[in-house]
Structure 1
Amino acid sequence: MDSERKPVRVVIVDDDQLVRMALRLVIDGEPDLTVVAEAADGNAAVIVVDEQRPDVVLMDVRMPGLDGLGATREILARAAPPRVLMLTTFDSDDLVLGALRAGALGFVLKDTPPQRILDAVRAVADGSPVLSPAATARVIAAATGPLSSHARDSTRRAARERLSALTEREHETARAIADGLGNPEIAQRLNISVATVKAHTGSLFSKLAVQNRVQIALLVRDAEE
């Protein structure tokens, strides 16, 4: 790590005190990471984030009162919000999908090895999406699973309306992002420069009112369902 770079500031949100303690011990043991606060529910999380202005929030999904999805929506509606990394168990991935749509940058399972959680925090701090391999299949299934005809039509219509504001090149960039390509691969596919890809991606963020590439990918898939 660059010795002049400040440690990534982390807030831990979980209603289980033992989970918070364990995560704090793991994170604070790293020279490039530091826990600046904890919260036991979503309402407290919103307050703490406003006070501390962290870089990353490790957010539990299911909590009493305001859950992780509601807290994520409120936090990401702020100006210059932190990155949110969801903590989940297999039985709560229905809310994880909602959190990803709301703008969370990824999720990890609570039983993920400590080193992988640390790697996920660092990746999210740098703006890279993180999807735990052990749960990705379940989230994909939730995203593409059966919905009522009315619900699917409504979701598709809303997504297509948002995407209709894009230029043809922006559409192609969004499609490539949904395919999981990075900027160099998108540049190669579209025969444009990486700088142009970045410009198109910036336009996507603005026109679609999204904060990360995960939201773009989900929106494209919604439009195609």
Structure 2
Amino acid sequence: MFEGIYQGTTDTLLPLLDQNFPELGVIGEICQEVKTVQSTLLFWGLPSSTSTGILTNRSAIAKLDNKSKSDYVRTPIPISGLKKIWRKLFENDESALLMINPLGGRMADYSETAIPYPHRAGVLYQVLKTVNFFDQSSDTSPISLSRIAWLESLEKLLEPYVSNNPREAYANYMDLDLGVGSDSYEEASVWGERYWKKNNIKKLIRIKAKVDPKSFFRHPQSIPVF
């Protein structure tokens, strides 16, 4: 499935798709023009006609019990690698999601230190890997644990094909497996540099110390205060 958002009109989108992805055969009748806030509803699987007020109702959208991991890819994955990934997906019990978000373009126009988000020039796409527990009573049931084990094996399979030194990850897909220690920079850098890279995590630590020295705003992988 291809899912995307284009900030423009259908008339300007179709020529771009015809030029770059003619195999998709996209026609105007299947495109839908909506306001940006309405696109958020569509990504949640809701009709664009749904009232945007639902976005402020925490209980209106189903809780998504899952475990997720992320990666960034900087060099094309060879066909042999794609076949391995494809076979791996068929080992799953249909509880998994693998999502590829293409980057490049305007994303690469800013240096990796311009703002906190550092995954810029040279990144081809981001990969989200998820297993869900919708049908389980907890994430520690035998079936849930088998799904987590499958996700960890997929993570290991992808290692040769994704970024390294550090193996980059997306902060908004919080992965506590990367570590939660924050008593020292050495501990925090284990996960912090994967999310933010070395220069940015150091800058964020300095900013945090100034604006939130008591770490009122915190979670297991929030920017630490030393």
Task: Calculate the TM-score normalised by the size of structure 1.
Answer: 0.27
Structure number having the greater helix percentage: 1
Q: Give the greater-gyration-radius structure (CA).
A: 2
Tell me which of the two structures has the higher relative contact order, counting C-alpha pairs closer than 8 angstroms and 6 or more residues apart.
2
- Calculate the TM-score normalised by the size of structure 2: 0.27
